[in-house]
Structure 1
């Protein structure tokens, strides 16, 4: 499907208007420079000069038109031909974003190679053969003037093109959504850094008047060989350029610093780090941006906390629903989660991992939902077949959690759910993993689950007292349970017991 040409035609018209406006300003600047040139030449020599200028301008305009056509061709083809795939629009979108920088090249290249080079060569040649009677240094000054004006023309063209491309970018984005259901974006790519853009802009704006005035003064000077003239002129020029450079550097730094600060904070938010807002270090309009960013961040934090509360409630509800099937195991999942978190704190796990460990422990037995009541709630001894069914609940639990979307949000909990019945000596189930091949969450939950199971009453037996369960954990270190994790739990138990017994 083709895109309507109205937007494209308006876009091309504005580009041409921008170029005409920039060219007019360049002509005014060059004309002003030539007015100051004290040329007193015969009419014939003026004809030669005008001829050189006209010929050079023709070469320049021809080169600019060729370069412009090449730069705009992908965009023109997009509007004139059928758009049949998303990648075509994406490439044109990026090309359109590059047009301001390409405009600078379009101006500088033809100015330097189409105007300056032919005009300089022809002028020097005419002076050499006697057709012109102007000093050679006038050609040098005129060349410097062309370079200066070309730089300012390129700067103007850059910013005017930046404004002109926005409607066509919006049009391309709208068509991408309608045709392919996808959003056009640079994906965070920086085609031209704001630091580079501002630095050169500020420098040229500051240096242009100084350089233009210096060239005009040089044209008006009658005697360049006067004592101290060159030294004085160069000194003043260097001071002015130095001031322009330092000023542009300071202005650029002052502008880029708050942008960089906000960018860093946005990167933190992107990875889920919401603790610290942006620092209010600025007294200009950036202060309002910082305030708005921090206000937005507070809203995100509140929403994230609510989401976490809902998620915690969801997990706790699932665990309570599972435990409610068997009155003898009521509260088992919550207690296992509490023990597991305690072990995680003793092991000095990061806060985020402890949160994931709690959720994994809450759901460690979720697979028992898939076990028939006749087997799960049987009071007597299980048959071998029934026991094999029970041993499948870690696999069932993992399969159930894999059905919950988004899948990446559930991924941290799967290893603990599947592996909480693995043994350190490799004799556990369902995979027979050994040692530290068993996921960390599985090794932690195994200790917490075993302690609560041993100290809880069952229909067929009364629960052990805590000291007996702790003794069994000590004996099973390195065989059934991870020795380090089991030792952390055992040591913590005795330490807490001593504190309770202390007078």
Structure 2
């Protein structure tokens, strides 16, 4: 069962990771497409104005560009696939150990910079080579008015145009990778995180992006004028430079503002998550400036708070367990009873679909459910004869005593309902308040089932333990929550309660339940009726 559970969980993670990676690739491809289209149109405008093309030459040049673009795009996609190979291996389920996950995390952290390197390297060289080759063929055999030697005048301009594309790729890449980084952290924990060593001051990044996107078009116009002073289209080149510079500055400002807002928003959401009591809150936003230090500081703080919360939780649990053990120790026959009731109740709650945190709270309630027996004389607790009316009244007061003890602590408020009402019955014949049906809190209804189950499957001084096969049918006919009883029965049949049943037998100093089940001999004790005070 554990193997099957691990397999199902791993397959679920693979499905999610493949979907995330597919979305990442799809958005990156679209970003590359629009960036390439923008650069192509800019190149077309600059070349046409620079050389003074006739209208038909503009269409001819556009056709040449569209012919070369697919080959360049295929080379770019192949190169990008190589750059993302380590991340792809993890997200497609081909690797799942921590070391490979760290390599994938490092790969994605540097993805924006890798995109810049790809555009300014293979992309630029392949575009220049393919475009000049196509122009040469078109000029020689197709009547295109401009030859490759004329294009060499524009050689200093090509890196400037590629830089525009590189900046767009950087901004888009930084916006796409955080979701994958967050998934890797969730899947593999904090150990997977690899922080980039590069730090770019925030002011330089802002000025660099805005000035680059705004001034590069003017710079390329200036370089064109320098190399072709006799151009008759100087006003058109300047106008296009101003227009494209303004357009790119606006677009760059929007993208840059999103990049800045992303880690800030992530930190804000993380603070809100911590405020609402969520654990393992981390920020996975990518940044290479002071915002990266902010995210790192938040993660360190969140990790310290989580560790402190875990220590407090363990102290809280250990304190309650110690108190429960002290209560149970007053009677050797009930030693471990509160611990087992809490464990039974937690398993039943999970079986009924409760979330893990709420089920754990019920486990703590189970530890405390009999705390009121502190106020019951030890002689009555250990008495093996029939109880008098006064003694029974004393026994039945322990939920109220426990309620009064626990309500003094605000930290234990969530456990009050279970402590007070775990002896109530659906038919109203329980105590101390005689509640009926849905009026009984769900925590108390589950605890009632767990309490009786453990009492009857454990040894008592007035009778030996009953077999689960004897106890379960009785529970079905008692005024107990039927869903809780059925959940308990399912757990028993699955073998999920064997360890607790065996522990109950060992606490009584007799054979374990599992060994007893192997025997064919019928129990020699008579059938006992169910007691509401067990």
TM, length-normalised to structure 2 = 0.47
Larger radius of gyration: 1
TM, length-normalised to structure 1 = 0.50
